[in-house]
Amino acid sequence: LDELFDIAVNLGNPQFDADREQVLERARAAGVVQMLVLGTSLAGSATAVELARRHPGTLLATAGVHPHDAATWDAQSARRLAELAAAPEVVAIGECGLDFERNYSSPSDQLRAFRGQLDLARELRLPLFLHERGASRELLAELRPRRPELGPVVVHCFTGDAATLDAYLELELHIGITGWICDERRGTHLRELVGRVPQGRLLVETDAPYLFPRTLRATGAGRRARNEPAYLPAVVAEIAAATGESTEQVAARTAAAARRLFRRGAALPQQP
């Protein structure tokens, strides 16, 4: 594989401090030629922008405040994110959204931060990069009335059921699939669902350093190995097995979809 696009890499994570450049080299060697570095806080977004600036053509960045960090959202947050998003490396607002499974920030703080970032994506005409866990009903209720004003919207690391997927697809969302699909304990339902995502709206991601693909365990990688973008082909292989395509086909179409999505100027609002 020679043209993969990993749409979710937490490259600023301290787990990569010791060998960040080697991680990028291994990614390229595995055919992962472009990566979107996620911003999950104001400071983390600044780091993501800086990493992207140092690796033009390979790394792009998002600017956002994750639902886990939503308690930090204040009157200055939107303005500071907008300043970060002015960098040409920033191609989406997020990751933002709702996580009612862990509630590291209170649901009301999460809603406040999420609404602020919905407004920002609309104002800046940037794609929206979403995280949702245990909150699809609430997320849909927020998105539905505002959908016509928004450009492209991605739900990353989709792990939900068929009804949730159909509701997301009805709102013309893009769907990101991680190594969750490689997890025989909790991800097998995704193998049946992934074929329902229309061409051009399926994206692949590692969410590294999280979600090490369990199908790689047999290769001798550790039980709780750190994930990295070089392992993205394992996700592609699982999707290809599920849809009956070749890995090359899945790689090419998901990379093309990501390239169309994550470039400045891509996010013109749809007609209501």
Binding site for Zn ion (CB under 5 A): 131
Query: Could you identify the residue written with the tokens 């407004």?
Result: 119
Shorter beta-carbon distance to Zn ion: residue 131 or 214: 131
Q: Which is nearer to Zn ion, 31 or 64 (CB)?
A: 64
Render the burial of 246-267: b for 16+ CB within 10 Å, e for the rest. Answer: ebeebbbbbbebbeebbeeebb
Shortest gap between Cβ of 92 and Zn ion (angstroms)?
A: 13
Measured from the CB of residue 8, what is the shortest distance to Zn ion in angstroms?
7
Rounded distance, CA 78 to CA 229, Å? 30
Amino acid at 97: G
Closest of 44, 30, 17, 23 to residue 251, by C-alpha: 30
Shortest distance in whole angstroms from residue 95 CB to Zn ion: 5
CB atoms within 10 A of CB 216: 17
Structural tokens at position 255:
């990379």
* CB of 101 vs Zn ion, minimal distance in Å: 11
| Chain residue at closest Cβ approach to Zn ion | 131
Q: How far is the CB of 38 from Zn ion (least distance, A)?
A: 8
CB nearer Zn ion, residue 131 or residue 201: 131
Shortest Cβ 26–Zn ion spacing (Å) = 22
Report how far residue 133's alpha carbon sits from residue 52's, in angstroms, rounded to the nearest whole number.
27
Name which of 268, 269, 264, 267 is nearest 88 in CA terms: 264
Cβ nearer to Zn ion, comparing 30 with 135: 135
Residue closer to Zn ion, measured from CB, 180 or 231: 180
| Cα–Cα dist 36/91, whole Å | 9
Nearer to Zn ion, 131 or 174 (CB): 131
The length of the chain in residues reads 272
Amino acid at 12: G
